[in-house]
Structure formats: C-alpha cells, structure tokens
Structure 1
Amino acid sequence: MDGTIRAASPDDVPAMLALMRELAEFEKLTHLFVASDESLHEALFGVRPAAEALVAEQDARVVGYALFFHNFSTFLSRRGLYLEDIYVQPGLRGSGLGTALLQRVAAIAVERQCGRFEWSVLDWNQRAIDFYAKMGASVLPEWRIVRITNDALMRLAKAE
C-alpha cells in the first residue's frame, strides 16, 4: 500500500466533504446530499461528537476516508461499531487503501471490545460486495434497512 491511514483532524473536513460529494455522485444520491463543512465539523469535532473518521492519504492528499460511530446490541449487551461510509477515490481502488481503512476500523472495534462491526452496501454495488466478502464479511439478505426522514419523521414525532 502506498499511502497512510490516520485519524481525521479538523483540517481534513473540506477534503472529506469533497470525497463525500464524490460518494453521493457514485451512489446517485446527490439529491440527498446536504452536508456542509460546518455540519461535518460539528459532527466529528464538536462539543458532543456523533462520529469518528479516519482518512487515507497519498502524496499528502486526502484520497479516502472511513466514517464510523458506536451502536448497541441488546442481544450481546455490548456496543458495536457501525461503518457509515468507506470511500477511496476510483483511481486508487485496488491500491490497498480501502483494505487498510477497513482493517484499521476493525482494529478499533476489537480494541474497544465491540461485539459487532457492521455496515450497509447497496445491492447493485457488486464490486464492494465482493471486496467485503474477501475481507470475511457476510451480507445478510434477510435484513432490510428501515428509514424515516423529513416530513414523515416530523409526523411520527408528533403522533402520541
């Protein structure tokens, strides 16, 4: 692998946000992308951080990232680590940076005695599915993501 993996710093926010936009384009989800430098900075480095991130650098340039946070399993009665995003720029895929990011987050999960390390993958992204399987991950076909946002979230919150 030609590059380094390190914890993200506040100075990395603009580069990470640019990579997040690239990911939204790749996933054809730019219509949902509303993150800003300010909101990402607050989420990662604010008074009460919601997530953590690692960045992959090559030639002193941020070219990938992994963003993760803790969740909890009632069945295990232990916290887990959820990988929200892992992204490496297309020209550097296959360089080992994605593997290194995934391994580093897995090591953090082990260090913190997490019971699980989980993430989601789009069903059409076969290259990613194959990559994850090669790393030892299982895609769970019986589970579906359930999501409620925007107006529907507001309506549900008001229902008592």
Structure 2
Amino acid sequence: MDFSIRAATVEDCKDIARMVMELAEYEKVTQYVKVTQKDLEQDGFSKNPFFHAIIAEVPEQHKSKEGKGIGKALMSKVAQLCVAAGCKQLNFSVLDKNYSAVDFYQRQGCVNITTTIGYHCMRCEGEELQNLAQH
C-alpha cells in the first residue's frame, strides 16, 4: 500500500477530532468525549503544546477499509520518535473489550501491564479535579 507519514499540522485538527469521535463511537464511549477541534488546535499547536501527532496520508486511489500496514507503520514511527527523545517506555490505552486492538498491540511486542503487574490507569477530572486543585 502506498502511504506517507508526516507530522500533524493545525489544519489536521478537524480530521483528528472526527477520528477521535469515530473511535469513541466504535468503542461505544461517545459520552466521555469532550475534546473539540478548537481544543486540539489550542492544545497541540500553541507555544507549549500538550501533545504531538503524526498523520498517515493515503493517496485517494489507494484508500480502502483494510489499511494494510498503516497501523504498524504509525506505531513504528512513534517508537522511533520515543527512542530519539530518550524515552524508556511507550504506553497505550485500549478498552479491554477492543480485542482486535489488544491483539494488535501484543503482536507488536506490547505487554498488557494490567494483567502482568496489576497496574491501573487512574483519572481525576471535572469537579473532583477542581476539588483536588483546591487542597
């Protein structure tokens, strides 16, 4: 398959927001999605960005539902960026019921640390975050 990988730009935020929502719909968690295109533009492309993103571009004539090799190429690029930045580990979040994603990550050499060491990812948000910030 013919595709290229590049750094995301602010112009990509509309598509990134759409893909976040598509994933949330697939995983049936749309009620938890609060991020907007404007949030992505501000958080990812301001003076001190909170995140960086990469994009896989597929020429129109090569687009299909299969996406053969794109996921692995994206993960490889992220791993390259991590190694170059001196990172020692790379973490992914995936719903336990998203079996195809869990299997994909494991095929790439990832380990499910929830089952191997009992590690849980905890979150504080909304009113609880505000309360915590006041103490």
Q: Could you tell me the TM-score, scaled by structure 1's length?
A: 0.75
| Equivalent residue number for residue 66 of structure 2 | 92
Listed as ranges, the matches of 1:1-160 within 5 Å are 1-59=1-59, 91-93=65-67, 95-140=68-113, 141=115, 142-158=118-134, 160=135
Alignment root-mean-square deviation, CA: 1.7
- Unmatched segments (≥5 aa) in structure 1: 64-88
Structure with the larger RCO, 1 or 2 (CA within 8 Å, 6+ apart): 2
- Unmatched segments (≥5 aa) in structure 2: none
> Moved runs in structure 1, 4+ residues, more than 6 A?
none
Structure with the higher helix share, 1 or 2: 2
Pairs aligned (count): 130
Superposition deviation, residue 25 in structure 1: 0.8
Superposition deviation, residue 157 in structure 1: 2.2
Percent identity reads 32
Q: Could you tell me the TM-score, scaled by structure 2's length?
A: 0.88
Aligned-partner Cα distance in 1 for 2:91–2:33: 23
Aligned-partner Cα distance in 2 for 1:145–1:139: 12
